[in-house]
Structure 1
């Protein structure tokens, strides 16, 4: 949630952020009204409670003959207190709903616009030039016996798959490399729950406009996570964390689940957009003043991983209307996919400022020992989709795929060939 103090001091900045996101700026006025109503309800309830308490002292010291009318007055006042407290609770609920309807404030540096209005910050490497007609990752994967979409659909439905043999080993090698890099950069490795409670899912901002993307287990009132960002954000919910020594960094390895309800038939071929995948996700808690620098560090760690798998990529500054409700700014790294003749997202790193931590009650103590709201950031370090870029960019004329040097020690071979196929 956004800072109500900032809302009161500069509502126009919040309205501008809403417009930049393509969202309703009138929600700001709704929130301002709810904020005023809540403060008025609290003041009324506090005043009536004080009057009731003072009357109780008067009744206690009054002569017995004078008490009956005072008691009657006290009963009437008690009824008013109860009514005021109910109004106070209602006002708090309305404020909470209005507060949660406002997305995070977009950083001024972020480009304004929609999905196609990103700014390319840098392009790294050149797309490969093939002396043959390149195959897409699915044709390669099926020919090499490492991806099986047909049996995935038979077992679980569309957009599910099996990774088999060296395909499974390639993913494990990729994720293992990501964990090694994460630990070397000061992250604590975590294997988190992939089912979370509603308050944790809502706290990270995933139950807003895109709630239909989330799988829910109705019988247990639990949600399957679409990223380990969610349980990692909830790890310190309701706590005061120690940030005196710098950011607290965690890297979560988990399976992730997305309904892809809003994909409208895009990328139905292969493993680019699927319902289940594995990912290593970075997550950082830091002081708000350190968040921008931490964001740049996360981007640099993502770039190191992309360099390790030897694929051309570009870095984009995501436009305001494509940020998602929790992010104030986001950088994506998009790898070249030869058969699509374009770049596709492999990593995303978001600076969420205090938005998630305010919802989840995560604080730290400042230099004076006073509790303050922490900042949170997240970023992808490796995921199943990376196999698409590896297979397509490193394919050879004979249908084999060269393994990037950094992964060779982890997978145990230098290439995937038809002769190495595992049925």
Structure 2
């Protein structure tokens, strides 16, 4: 655990503090049990005693009452400290994860061909210019209504989102996922249980009056869906595909991706989520990755798969793979989808267990973004643009756009 914390760039001393708190929790629990046992024994002796002996026993009973109360309070305090420290501890990093920060990822594979726009005889436009030509994106009015990093999808932009969501849900359903429309507001225990109130807390919107959180991903309600439940082993795997709005403060991203809709405060997303037996989590992780690759390939996008480095995992993931699409006007790959193996981290915190015969134990949870809509629109517009400002529609989306093969510029 110390090595895992070190790899994450997190506080290693937290492990020792947790061990110390847990030792106090255990010893105070033993002390409480011993005092309660003596108290019960004394309760049996007092009715049989008389005179001076009874007076002594009653005196001891009064002292025991105070000692039991103090031991109970000490046990509760140690337990609360242990739980608080546990919630600050990240998941155990998988041994194959590359150690390092954001730039220390390992590229696992590359797919598709990057277009040579110079050879085609024109300079590519960025997604915002294309979106404005198509009458699809309006960030100026988004800022007027809500502030920076907000936007309107208009006309074919709105239709493109609906096409992407329907196509993504169709793929997930065909793969055996149960489609879900999830709440966008959750209680603190749901947010904390999935690991989003630790290092990620600064990026979360909180409604103080109601003590509810706006989710940054439907992973949160999908993980909490079976909170405090025991699931029979023969029901696994359970796979859900959630569609929801997502809200992120984007704290710490000042000056990053300020143009267009790549990094925004509100967006829609289709998210895959799996509950599996712990021994099946690595195989399920590969399956989620394959479904993401199938999706990006169907959108005819060039992309690469990276093994995310330890300090960039997020607290709940033991291992994470990102699929990054090529963005022509940025001249680099950018994250479009991500899949994380959270092993037993979330299920322990949310008290979700599996019953396998007589054994009841935590199960494993995994998540995988299938379609984060704005970023996917960015990649589609830029990679499938044509010299006149029109955009070719990938075949997989055409049935959801009334058979439309090209998005044409509109006159202003």
After TM superposition, the score normalised by the length of structure 2 is: 0.97
The alignment partner of 1:340 has SS state of coil
Distance 1:262 1:205 in 2: 19
CA deviation digits over 1:100-148, x for unaligned, max 9?
1211010000101000000000000111122200000000001110000
- Runs of at least 4 residues off by over 6 Å: none
Structure 1 partner of 2:49: 62
Distance 2:232 2:300 in 1: 38
1:255-274 alignment to 2 at 5 Å? 255-274=245-264
Distance 1:61 1:251 in 2: 67
CA deviation digits over 1:266-289, x for unaligned, max 9?
001111100000000011111100
Distance 1:113 1:272 in 2: 25
1:17-166 alignment to 2 at 5 Å? 17-63=4-50, 66-130=53-117, 131=120, 132-166=122-156
Is 1:250 equivalent to 2:237 in the alignment?
A: no
Distance 1:188 1:358 in 2: 23
Structure 1 partner of 2:182: 192
Distance 2:362 2:206 in 1: 29
CA deviation digits over 1:268-316, x for unaligned, max 9?
1111100000000011111100000000000000011001110000000
Structure 2 partner of 1:416: 407
- Alpha-carbon deviation of 1:69? 2.4
Q: Select which of 378, 381, 396 maps to 1:391.
A: 381
Q: Select which of 296, 300, 306 maps to 1:316.
A: 306
The alignment partner of 1:107 has SS state of coil
Structure 2 partner of 1:11: none
Q: Select which of 405, 408, 420 maps to 2:395.
A: 405
Distance 2:49 2:312 in 1: 67
Is 1:380 equivalent to 2:369 in the alignment?
A: yes
- Alpha-carbon deviation of 1:60? 2.7
The alignment partner of 1:176 has SS state of helix
Distance 1:170 1:376 in 2: 31
1:144-293 alignment to 2 at 5 Å? 144-293=134-283
- Alpha-carbon deviation of 1:411? 1.1
- Alpha-carbon deviation of 1:63? 3.6
In terms of mean alpha carbon deviation, does 136-145 or 52-61 score higher?
52-61
CA deviation digits over 1:366-398, x for unaligned, max 9?
2x3221001100000111210000000000011
Unaligned runs of 5+ in 1: 1-13
Do the aligned partners of 1:175 and 1:383 also contact (CA within 8 Å) in 2?
no
- Alpha-carbon deviation of 1:24? 1.6
Distance 2:394 2:388 in 1: 17
CA deviation digits over 1:208-234, x for unaligned, max 9?
112110000011000000000000111
CA deviation digits over 1:196-216, x for unaligned, max 9?
001110110000112110000
Distance 1:229 1:164 in 2: 27
In terms of mean alpha carbon deviation, does 80-89 or 178-187 score higher?
178-187
Unaligned runs of 5+ in 2: none
1:285-364 alignment to 2 at 5 Å? 285-364=275-354
Distance 2:408 2:38 in 1: 84
The alignment partner of 2:104 has SS state of coil
The alignment partner of 1:345 has SS state of strand
Distance 1:279 1:171 in 2: 10
The alignment partner of 2:245 has SS state of strand
Distance 1:278 1:348 in 2: 15
- Alpha-carbon deviation of 1:245? 4.1
- Alpha-carbon deviation of 1:64? 6.4
- Alpha-carbon deviation of 1:66? 3.7
- Alpha-carbon deviation of 1:99? 1.3
The alignment partner of 2:329 has SS state of helix
Q: How many positions carry a matched residue from both structures?
A: 407
Distance 2:163 2:48 in 1: 80
In terms of mean alpha carbon deviation, does 98-107 or 216-225 score higher?
98-107
Distance 2:149 2:248 in 1: 10
Structure 2 partner of 1:6: none
After TM superposition, the score normalised by the length of structure 1 is: 0.95
Distance 1:121 1:215 in 2: 34
CA deviation digits over 1:12-49, x for unaligned, max 9?
xx111111111121111111111111101100111111
